[in-house]
Structure 1
Amino acid sequence: MSADGAARPEDAARLDESRMAVAAAAAHERWGTTRPNPTVGAAVFDATGELIAVGVTEPPGGRHAEVVALDAAGDRAAGGTIVVTLEPCNHTGRTGPCTARIIAAGLARVVFAAHDPNPLASGGAERLAAAGLEVRGGVGLTPDAAIPGAAGVLAGPLGPWLFRQQHGRPRVTWKYAASMDGRSAAADRTSQWITGPAARAHTLERRSRYDAIVVGSGTVAADDPSLTARDTDGERLEHQPLRCAMGESEVQPGARIRGDGDGLFAHLRTRDPVAAIRSLDERLGRPTEEVLLEGGPRLAGAFLRAGLVDRVEAYIAPVFLGAGSSALGDAGVGTIDDARRFTIEYVEVVGTDLFAELVPAETLPGSQGKYLPGSGAHPPAE
């Protein structure tokens, strides 16, 4: 507080960041369940600052996060603050504009993280400000070490949606498990299991975030993966990704990746990463936001050479193998100057293993990051 009893600007800003962490955490729990709509979180605080309601976007056709939260808050929202991970929409689609509902609720302040890049839905901040509300944007986009749980909105489910809006293609994450010396299998080709049970459970649950999981047809033949998303008890989660085998080799009728006739298997008969990614929108029947590469080494190398690895999830076991298969095949690196360098964004110990998330340190050579030609999406206006 300042000498006159008023809250210092830095204190008010920190409070908004803390409140944004509440909205972001709510959205995190529904990751992957609202597509093609963005997974947005909202939190409503009354005029005294008490948290009174939290909302998350419902599946397509349902309510937006702001409306879910305001329905729960009722009359107590008047004079309060709503905190939202995405700028409130200002258009009528399947539902009405969230800006109208916010104004009608009598709120005093609106705090949001990301501006909406969609020209059809944007303009919410301006409309709210014109109606007399205090509006603050750009809050909580990135992590704040001083706020527990504030991982940053871009690290949550809004990240891949914004990536798709900006780049016209899905965000691609390469996930691998390896020994400390970078081996994914021993000299005799055995690989089950390099990492411990906690790490395996961790990755099975995270699969539900993705629209599609891609493995090479060679990995299908060697490991017979199911690629299903499961909870910590081993039960199938409600949202399951499209399971994709990439390559020209046939996938046997009894392969577990084919599933039980649920319609979530696709054979991408190409060795070209660009062609494979381009085909996913048609197979899913909607824009693809997030794709997971799970193996093997040659597939990962091909995607890195194509500039189509936007994130890395690495599970590193405290074990040394000394020989055996490398976790990564030819990535087009002939000299140290061509090394594919990444920045560590997050690190956690999961059971006995190390889990790290990485992003490219700079634009990769030959990157398809800005816009994927022929994807059917339009590049953003300059």
Structure 2
Amino acid sequence: MSTTAAEQAAMRRALALAATPGVPLGPNPRVGCVLLDDAGAVVAEGHHRGAGTPHAEADALAAAGDRARGTTAVVTLEPCNHTGRTGPCARALVEAGVRRVVFAQSDPNPNAAGGADTLRAAGLEVESGLLRAESRQLNEVWTFAVEHGRPFVTWKFATTLDGRSAAADGTSRWVSSLAARRDTHRLRALCDVMLVGASTVAVDDPLLTVRDDQDRPLPTQPLRVVMGERDLDPGRRIFNGDAESLHLRTRDPHAALVELYARDRQHVFLEGGPTLAGAFLRAGLVDEIVVYVAPLLLGAGRSAVADLGITTIAAAFRPRVTDITVLAGIDGEEPNVRLTLAPGED
């Protein structure tokens, strides 16, 4: 059975509900739900507001009350089939007397999947795949983390035109422009982990918080993580009370991501130096690259990434460009260019 025009419109509305501003990006997926009557009119709608709050289906069912009986539930993610902090949504839909369920994306979480089978076994009509790509894009990082069993990794760095991240004397403040630094904080706010190496903490003493354009800290901060086996001065700024911090005493990127995923972290923003970046690249654990290119030439100084063991151009690491954005200069600064890249070749 195909979907109707009303169901398609309801799915777009459900996606908009799921993306409601202020809804946390994790650790739960963002989900929206719209209930339709037989004429295609909206009976009620709902969305998930973060871990510990009602799921989108429960939110919509509560708003509908007895009017939920006989409706079609249009939901962006397959109704869950397990009991966690809340009960299984598939069972709630059955008990509410919903007649038909249309969902976009199948649940990749093996602990929660199976809702469609439960609904069909109870006699409900079930359609899947409506606007699947849009739903996956809405929860791109969450979907990746669940499917791969590790966080999504974004590597960010700033560089001059000749690939230098710092001058020969070690100075790097500021390679990028004010506009680029503000843009970096916008991207930091999309992640739940800021990760650097022990050397970066020892030498640069970064704060690693997310701040607004007036340099004020945001109310929600990612976990600040330093990775490395060496002891560090507890007075370093990363260990202050501005945000939660963690020292992972390992040099193994795989081990670090396993630990972070076990802590319900899904998106790592890698801002360490060239050694840490090289380790993640060699391990094949970089999923997105964000590069800020400044119109500067140094001719010497620290490279953006350490030796990757590549000795010939044929073996070069070749990420593909997915976006190019020119960031206008502020206060007389020259524009910077932000490149966003994904691993792999065209």
Q: Is contact 2:47-2:56 (8 Å) kept?
A: yes
Deviations 1:109-148 (CA, angstroms, capped at 9, x unpaired): 5333321233332221233344454433234343xxxxxx
TM-score relative to the length of structure 2: 0.80
Deviations 1:169-196 (CA, angstroms, capped at 9, x unpaired): 2222212222344332344433333333
- Report which stretch shifted further, 238-247 or 13-22: 13-22
Separation of aligned partners in 2, 1:354 and 1:76: 53
Q: Is 1:265 equivalent to 2:245 in the alignment? A: yes
Deviations 1:49-96 (CA, angstroms, capped at 9, x unpaired): 559534124323x32222224334556656655443321112233321
Match in the other structure for 1:99:
90
DSSP 3-state at the match of 1:226: coil
Question: Aligned AA for 2:51?
Answer: P
* 1:184 pairs with one of 152, 155, 165: 165
Match in the other structure for 1:25:
19
Match in the other structure for 2:237:
256
Q: State the identity %.
A: 46
How far has the Cα of 1:346 moved from its partner? 4.3
Separation of aligned partners in 2, 1:28 and 1:360: 30
Separation of aligned partners in 1, 2:185 and 2:254: 26
Q: Is contact 2:179-2:327 (8 Å) kept?
A: yes
Separation of aligned partners in 2, 1:337 and 1:86: 42
Q: Is 1:321 equivalent to 2:297 in the alignment? A: yes
CA RMSD of aligned residues (A): 3.3
Question: Aligned AA for 1:55?
Answer: H
TM-score relative to the length of structure 1: 0.74
- Report which stretch shifted further, 186-195 or 217-226: 186-195
* 1:312 pairs with one of 277, 282, 289: 289
Separation of aligned partners in 2, 1:12 and 1:337: 52
Question: Aligned AA for 1:265?
Answer: S
DSSP 3-state at the match of 1:102: helix
Match in the other structure for 1:380:
none
Q: Is contact 1:79-1:106 (8 Å) kept?
A: yes
* 1:358 pairs with one of 338, 341, 346: 341
Question: Aligned AA for 1:192?
Answer: R
Q: Is contact 2:166-2:303 (8 Å) kept?
A: yes
Separation of aligned partners in 1, 2:216 and 2:267: 23
Separation of aligned partners in 2, 1:27 and 1:39: 14
Match in the other structure for 2:110:
119
Q: Is 1:275 equivalent to 2:255 in the alignment? A: yes
Match in the other structure for 1:42:
32
Separation of aligned partners in 2, 1:67 and 1:348: 41
- Report which stretch shifted further, 45-54 or 324-333: 45-54
Match in the other structure for 1:163:
144
Distance 1:186 1:63, change over 3 A: same
Q: Is contact 1:181-1:321 (8 Å) kept?
A: yes
Separation of aligned partners in 1, 2:213 and 2:93: 38
- Report which stretch shifted further, 105-114 or 118-127: 105-114
Question: Aligned AA for 1:63?
Answer: P
Deviations 1:296-315 (CA, angstroms, capped at 9, x unpaired): 11210111011111222333
Match in the other structure for 2:80:
89
Q: Is 1:153 equivalent to 2:135 in the alignment? A: yes
DSSP 3-state at the match of 1:215: strand
Any stretches of 5+ residues in structure 2 without a counterpart? 329-334
How far has the Cα of 1:13 moved from its partner? 8.4
Question: Aligned AA for 2:106?
Answer: H
Question: Aligned AA for 2:319?
Answer: F
Distance 1:39 1:346, change over 3 A: farther
